[in-house]
Structure 1
Amino acid sequence: MLPRVRNVILGLAACVCAAPVIGAPAQADPLLEETVEFTGTVLFLQTKVPGLVIGAVRNGETAVYGFGEATDSGEAPDGDTVMRIGSITKAFTGQVLAALAADGTVSLTQRLGTLAPDLGSGKDPNVAKIRLIDIATQSAGIPREVPHEPGPKDNPFKPITREAFAGWLAENDLLYPPGTGVLYSNFAFDLLAIGLSEAAKTPYPELLKEHVTGPLGMTDTGFTLNDDQKSRLMQGHGFDGKALPDVPTGEVIVGSGGLYSTPKDLLRWMQWHLDRLAEKDAETRMLDHAAYLVRDNLNPVQGMDESGHMDAMSLAWVVMMPENDRPLILQKAGGLQGTFSYIAFAPTRGIAAFVAINQFDFAAATTMAEVVNEMITSLAPR
């Protein structure tokens, strides 16, 4: 972009955005700060959402910038802003699976029914063949959602229960044989959380804290909020621009969604993923990042390309193979209660990035994924 145009954009941003906040150590990389700030500025002006927060980590240094309003008070989001991360939760569930496989609690090819017998049989004999790896790679043949009646406004997720899961499996055919196609499924990842909880004989939220958030010091990442966290929660907005209530997802929707987090916590998590040659947790990282299911000859492939073309599936991560200047990227998007978010990392290049907007807007969500992928490319060219 021409310098004059860039200066105009930054000048306009100063009129409409709160001052950005940098969550970086001393002497952070000036290029990283410059790139994140400018990318966020352009994206905020382009999408016209109420609020936006963007961050990146490279070589252990981080930068976080917020724009617009996170709450009705008019404050801009920053690194400590709490937000719903929606289906990015699935990548956490994949990491828990990797950790339990690494320590021998489960195996990737273990069948779900051996851990949760009520979920391991049904009308379709293929139900008994569903393996943990099939669920984690979105290839189990399970629909996106379990069919259910609408819940009450203050608890719309109430009808989504383990009993509803078992009932559907008992009465319906899978959409395709496990391992032969890919179809995005929230239903499946909640089954995975149930199976992992049964294997470890531990409630899933405790399992997540034990293996992921606790060791990494992610104190703002969890399924429930304390009063301080509620005061920092970013207000989500619907497609009509109206504010949406914050509704917890309950005890069942923990594998597919439901997590709250902050940009600082997410970038700390990303740093763990980028530390790929470290001896600690090496097995877990290897299992988590491996590409298990390549797109070739899969039928169907649906719901996986909105944030970038899926070339393969890792444990919940969508794998995008290197193309032109873009390096290998693992990515995941999420959306819940008026917040869209996207996170991606280039494991061989030591860079990761995160962005969230606080309004449901599909065009904006597509744009922000494209912009983050481009930002990673510019900071880690092939």
Structure 2
Amino acid sequence: MNENKKGTRHRYRILAAVLALSIAGEAYAQILPSSYALASGNQPAAAAVKAALTNGPQDAKELEAFLDAFFAQDAVKQKAGAAAISVVRDGKVLVSKGYGVVDQTSKAQVDDSQTIFRVASVSKVFTVAAAMQLVEQGKISLQDNVEKYLDGYKIKNPFGKPVTVEQLLTHTTGFESTQPSDASYVFDPSVKPVSLKDSIFDAFPSVIREPGSSYMYDNFATRLLGYIVQQASGESFGSYIEEHITKPLGMTSSSFTLNAELAERMAISYDPGNNAIPSYNLSPREWPEGSMISTASDMALFMKAFLNGGRSADGKAILSPESVKAMSTYHVSIHPEFPDMTYGFESPIEPSQTHSEKVISKGGDIIGFSSLLWMLPDRKTGVFLTYNANSDLRNDLFTAFMDHYYDNGKKPYEQAGFKPQSKAELAKFEGLYSDLRVKFLTKVEATGDGTLTVSDVSSRNQLKQVGDLLFVDEAGKPLAFKKDANGRITDLKYLNLFSYAVKLQEVQGSYPDIAVDHPYASYIFALKSLAILKDDPAKPFEPQKSVTRGAFVQTFNALWGIQPSANPSSFTDIDNSEYRGDIQAAHESGLLLGMGDGLFEPERPIRREEAALVAFRLLAGNEIRLPVTTAILVPGTSDWAVEAVSSAVSWKLHGPEVTQSNGMVDFGSQRDLNKQELAAFLFTMLLPAE
């Protein structure tokens, strides 16, 4: 854990994908095709063309010119070296085209029909389509308790409501957040992937919220849905998709399994240092939530069929019109103007840029690749973009495309005649809200009549009220609140489009030895309300008891949704430890290294500088916070921990135990971390940066 800090700038795979979704940050810079614009010389003609464009793309040549100009920009080229796009309308492919080169060595051009990309979570659309086929056949019911398909397995669910198949489709199961570990990515071809079944039952999450009560994007829910497809159909998941969806549509370059022939055609991705990312497989080999590979031209075939009531051009039906409608209709919305999920699709990637058009969307991120599929069902129009990088290029294209083709002058979210509430009335929204996926905290303050200030880990924004529970920020991005039957504010949804954030409620008197005025009470009670602390509230908390290295890793992992690893141990002294799986998972993620000589010492108390290093690797390694080395530390911090401890001080990851005198900060680097300090350390990691 403490032997060196090499590689702390590495973006750890364990959280990269979920953080990309959960930390939306500031408004994305808008990239517009500056070299393609309406001619200004003939104003009446230009106005006529502009009016025609508000009905969407119609002319293939005009669309291709727009896309060529967009992808010719240097800013776009810097975000991805290889990209492919297809656009369909009214049953026709208007454009299907590649941009850039497959790899930097051969310089071969991207081919829309031959170049393979990982489409990541766009896979979920196909998994849901498979489930809807089985619903049509009566083999699955949307209201089925999912335990019906689990061969006797009972889900840990303290609520009176079961988890249903429909809730898997809408990501409203109430499951605790789980993220794939590094072991899910297989770079060594000799490693045998686990089965889909084992991957589910080895780490089945508990239900921690009432099923159906809140929305949280959930990869496990779709993996479980894929397993139910397998159970109900009697076919392996991948075979089912091939036989009943991709093959009937003629999608010959699409699969949930990466075979040798498809791997040869895959675009190469590069890391920030411009090194080629090695080819990898997945464990299990088929992820219902994200292992699909495809081409732009194949995806055009799917979009055409979907927008044609589920029927391909040659008459093959993969879905009924009723299923297509169900997949195109939002079933969960925190606010009518700020939707969450259909069956398989989610809210637009830039909700404020839809120009009041109905848009269903599905984005995807996996190591080295990002994609976006969006459709306008009422316009019979669909767009698919995929590229060999993890960047916000898709947001740029979505904004440019919607502005170019659907700019009708309408302003979203404005409600005519609405009178904003007073500052006193807005006080009901104030408080801290914890994201359900990654427990970062959002702070809401009423700062004036009809105005809120909202701070999170990445930004601080001013918002104005435009509806009873609806606000917009300076960039036009919406924030919506949810209230319960008693009118109490319970949740919000803002920059993270993929999860609600639940309002923290005061938890007092949880432990007999922690009074309300205890100096660490706020930290301890907050972590208890977040279900991070597992201590029995009826028993003493023992706030000054030292925390072992193993116990620290387990609690740290719980905070970030890192699941225990079932892989063989990397350390010789953890096999008999109750924390073995947590230690192994954190090691696989690069968060800890051990003590050397194959040892970890799980039962030794963890020093404060060791804890700081683990936090630094996660926060700086995932670019959540920038390293800060300006704090002047009193002597005693180990050389390998100076940057981490200095950053922890600057980030204020501590409670009142850290003192300052004569311009020097005493972090207590060599002291053992105790339980009350652990509570302060973990809770302050989640707070908005000042």
TM-score tier, shorter chain, comes to 0.7 to 0.9
Q: Which residue of 1 aligns with 2:129?
A: 95
Counterparts of 2:180 and 2:61, CA distance in 1: 50
Superposition CA RMSD, Å:
3.4
Instruction: Identify if the C-alpha distance between structure 1 residues 40 and 54 changes in structure 2 by more than 3 Å, giving closer, same or farther.
Output: farther
Out of 404, 407, 411, the position equivalent to 1:378 is 404
Question: One-letter code of the match for 1:337?
Answer: I
Counterparts of 1:324 and 1:214, CA distance in 2: 33
Instruction: Identify if the C-alpha distance between structure 1 residues 230 and 150 changes in structure 2 by more than 3 Å, giving closer, same or farther.
Output: closer
Counterparts of 1:339 and 1:324, CA distance in 2: 25
1:44 touches 1:52 (CA, 8 Å); kept in 2? no
1:122 touches 1:128 (CA, 8 Å); kept in 2? no
Instruction: Identify if the C-alpha distance between structure 1 residues 94 and 157 changes in structure 2 by more than 3 Å, giving closer, same or farther.
Output: farther
Question: One-letter code of the match for 2:245?
Answer: V
Q: Which residue of 2 aligns with 1:117?
A: 151
Counterparts of 1:195 and 1:202, CA distance in 2: 10
What is the TM-score with the length of structure 1 in the denominator?
0.79
Q: Which residue of 2 aligns with 1:6?
A: 35
Instruction: Identify if the C-alpha distance between structure 1 residues 202 and 127 changes in structure 2 by more than 3 Å, giving closer, same or farther.
Output: farther
Q: Which residue of 2 aligns with 1:65?
A: 97
Aligned residues: 345
Q: Which residue of 2 aligns with 1:260?
A: 293
Instruction: Identify if the C-alpha distance between structure 1 residues 110 and 89 changes in structure 2 by more than 3 Å, giving closer, same or farther.
Output: same
Gaps of 5+ in 1: 9-26, 298-308
What is the TM-score with the length of structure 2 in the denominator?
0.45
1:223 touches 1:248 (CA, 8 Å); kept in 2? no
1:40 touches 1:65 (CA, 8 Å); kept in 2? no
Instruction: Identify if the C-alpha distance between structure 1 residues 252 and 153 changes in structure 2 by more than 3 Å, giving closer, same or farther.
Output: closer
Matched, 1:273 2:306: yes
Mean Cα displacement is larger for which, 367-376 or 267-276? 367-376
Matched, 1:74 2:101: no
Q: Which residue of 1 aligns with 2:601?
A: none
Matched, 1:332 2:366: no
SS in 2 for 1:202: coil
Q: Which residue of 2 aligns with 1:197?
A: 230
Q: Which residue of 1 aligns with 2:389?
A: 359
Instruction: Identify if the C-alpha distance between structure 1 residues 175 and 371 changes in structure 2 by more than 3 Å, giving closer, same or farther.
Output: farther
Matched, 1:293 2:332: yes
1:143 touches 1:183 (CA, 8 Å); kept in 2? no
2:355 touches 2:407 (CA, 8 Å); kept in 1? yes
Question: One-letter code of the match for 1:78?
Answer: D
User: Which deviations, in whole Å up to 9, do the C-alpha atoms of 1:232-273 show, x marking residues without a partner?
Assistant: 211122344322122222446421011110000011111112
Matched, 1:369 2:395: yes
2:116 touches 2:293 (CA, 8 Å); kept in 1? yes
Matched, 1:55 2:89: no
SS in 2 for 1:286: helix
Instruction: Identify if the C-alpha distance between structure 1 residues 177 and 92 changes in structure 2 by more than 3 Å, giving closer, same or farther.
Output: same
Instruction: Identify if the C-alpha distance between structure 1 residues 354 and 148 changes in structure 2 by more than 3 Å, giving closer, same or farther.
Output: closer
Counterparts of 1:100 and 1:206, CA distance in 2: 14
Return the structure number with greater helix share.
1
Question: One-letter code of the match for 1:318?
Answer: E
Counterparts of 2:255 and 2:354, CA distance in 1: 38
2:193 touches 2:284 (CA, 8 Å); kept in 1? no
**Higher RCO (Cα < 8 Å, 6 or more apart):** 1
Written as runs of structure 1 = structure 2, the 5 A alignment for 1:193-272 is 193-251=226-284, 253-272=286-305
Question: One-letter code of the match for 2:274?
Answer: G
Using the aligned pairs only, state the percent identity. 19
2:370 touches 2:388 (CA, 8 Å); kept in 1? yes
Counterparts of 1:186 and 1:127, CA distance in 2: 24
Question: One-letter code of the match for 2:102?
Answer: A
Gaps of 5+ in 2: 1-29, 38-57, 409-690
User: Which deviations, in whole Å up to 9, do the C-alpha atoms of 1:132-183 show, x marking residues without a partner?
Assistant: 11111111122443575746642699468533532443xx632422211111
1:36 touches 1:55 (CA, 8 Å); kept in 2? no
List 4+ stretches of structure 1 deviating above 6 A. Answer: 321-324
Structure exhibiting the larger radius of gyration computed from Cα positions: 2
Out of 155, 162, 166, the position equivalent to 2:201 is 166
Counterparts of 2:62 and 2:225, CA distance in 1: 40
Instruction: Identify if the C-alpha distance between structure 1 residues 181 and 36 changes in structure 2 by more than 3 Å, giving closer, same or farther.
Output: same
Q: Which residue of 1 aligns with 2:321?
A: 282
